Amino acid sequence: MTYQEAEAYINDTPRFTTKNTLENTKAVLEKMGHPERRMKLIHVAGSNGKGSVCAYLSSILTTAGKQTGLFTSPHLVDINERFQINQENVSNELFLEAFEAVMDMVHTLLKEQPDTFAHPTFFELLFLMGIYIFDKANMEYVVLETGLGGRFDATNVIEHPLISVITSISLEHTEYLGDTCAKIAGEKAGIIKEGCPVVYDGTREDVSEVIEAYAAQMHSRAYAIRPEMYKILMNTHKTIDFSMDTGYYGPMDVSIDSVAEYQIMNAMEAVTAAEVMDIGLTEEDIHRGMERMHWQGRMETVLPGVILDGAHNDSGVEEFVKTARKFQKDTKLTLLFSCVKEKDYDGMIRTICESLDFESVVVTQIDSYRQVPSEELAQIFRKYTTRPVEEISFIDDAFDEAMKRKGDGVLFCVGSLYLVGSLKSLIRSRKNA
């Protein structure tokens, strides 16, 4: 079997069907000999920012010389982006080895336990491959990002993480997680384990009450991170310098390579988690790790004046417009937008149009069964803005048109990580042509 054939098989496995029980995933881990028990695991859940927190923690640990694995999702271009070894994507060879090893165990279990064991779903399969990969590479620390939710997420088979982190909570996947932020927080809080500390975003009182109550039930020390704990020292179009004083540890000045103010909360959660773990990290380790972190698709400048942001829900868009306003003061803005059908794209578009004054808008559609037709998106934009709106179905053509309209201003490409991934692939292919 080839890497491409393995990727095709994984992509054909169910993503949004009924999940298997955690016992199903545990059965494969038992076949492996429970390698996850030999790792020091950091477990991260949340609605927004969990990928960034994972990336910050991975960067801190790797910079400090720790052997560190990172499991995250989704990927933007290549599926093996989901597995990093010391901040490098896993090789195609190890990816294929992991796939074949895990599938051998799956087939064995299907024969041994035909009435109780089921084939892993898309995410479950990738998680199991990740555990195999990190064990094979002798990773001491592994940072795990949950998929959907927390309590019943495949990653929640881990028994005793070093620490848990819960990032900001907003309404998402309400059909699975609940129709209020408090209910969703209850699902996310399910990653908190007996006696293991948790760092969490304490911005919302209703969310804080849920997490604090669950942490107390699990005899876990909870560390709330709130916006009043930081002060911005300098905010440029490339970096943000800020001071943080959580009250748990001494004050610290931090610099991050980001233009997005929302990353400050993510950065503070990562720094606090690094301190709470108490594994001998120095302040210099933390500073260097924070400065070196680069996370794809989150206010990422990919070309001069071209910024990609995977804002894909209401709260993500609200944070996006806060950042874009800073650019609006100095230059004209152009928007390239697309979205998937599960999102409240009418609300997202309304927020953008009410908050920002783009010179023009180009809408497109992703190449997926989850696409929203560009014509539908264009109609919604025209409800909320009088600025020119162009609808172009193919992403390549839409990007070229948006670049023409950008001129010497700034082009923001927003609304879906699928859009971001397609654009990164397009830009890379053109550079290599």
Q: Domain check: are 61 and 150 in the same one?
A: yes
- Global pTM exceeds 0.75: yes
* Euclidean distance between CA atoms 78 and 69, whole angstroms: 17
Report how many domains make up the chain: 2
Q: Domain check: are 146 and 285 in the same one?
A: yes
Q: pLDDT tens for residues 260-298?
A: 888 999 999 999 999 999 999 999 999 999 988 877 878
> Mean pLDDT: which of 1-10, 217-226, 366-375 is highest?
217-226
Q: Domain check: are 245 and 145 in the same one?
A: yes
Q: For residue 433, is pLDDT > 70? A: no
Residue 48 is classified by DSSP as: B
- On the question of a cis peptide bond just before residue 74, with omega within 30 degrees of 0, the verdict is yes
Q: Domain check: are 284 and 322 in the same one?
A: no
Q: pLDDT tens for residues 4-46?
A: 999 999 998 876 446 799 999 999 999 999 999 999 999 999 9
Q: Domain check: are 148 and 177 in the same one?
A: yes
pLDDT at 62: 97
Average pLDDT over residues 415-430: 91
Quick one: tokens of 344? Answer: 């409240």
Q: Which amino acid is at 342?
A: E
Distances, alpha carbon 63 to alpha carbons 11, 56, 86, 256, 284, in Å = 33, 10, 9, 15, 10
Q: For residue 414, is pLDDT > 60? A: yes
Please state the φ and ψ torsions of residue 232, each to the nearest 5 degrees. Answer: -75, 130
* Euclidean distance between CA atoms 103 and 162, whole angstroms: 29
Domain CATH for 22: 3.40.1190.10
Q: Which of 236, 266, 292 is the last residue of a domain?
A: 292
Q: Domain check: are 116 and 255 in the same one?
A: yes
Mean pLDDT score of the chain, rounded to an integer? 93
Q: Domain check: are 40 and 188 in the same one?
A: yes
Average pLDDT over residues 188-207: 97
* Euclidean distance between CA atoms 274 and 268, whole angstroms: 10
Give the residue numbers spanning the domain of 304.
Answer: 300-432
Q: Domain check: are 333 and 386 in the same one?
A: yes
Q: Which of 270, 292, 314 is the last residue of a domain?
A: 292
pLDDT at 174: 66
Q: Domain check: are 168 and 232 in the same one?
A: yes
pLDDT at 77: 87
Task: Report the percentage of the chain scoring pLDDT > 70.
Answer: 98
Quick one: tokens of 207? Answer: 């969310």
Domain CATH for 396: 3.90.190.20
Q: Domain check: are 186 and 56 in the same one?
A: yes
Q: For residue 139, is pLDDT > 50? A: yes
| Higher pLDDT among residues 15 and 97, named by residue | 97
Q: For residue 48, is pLDDT > 90? A: no
Q: Domain check: are 243 and 339 in the same one?
A: no
Quick one: tokens of 390? Answer: 């162009």
Average pLDDT over residues 380-409: 95
If 0-12 CB within 10 Å is exposed, 13-18 middle and 19+ buried, where does residue 225 land? buried
Q: Which of 292, 315, 347 is the last residue of a domain?
A: 292
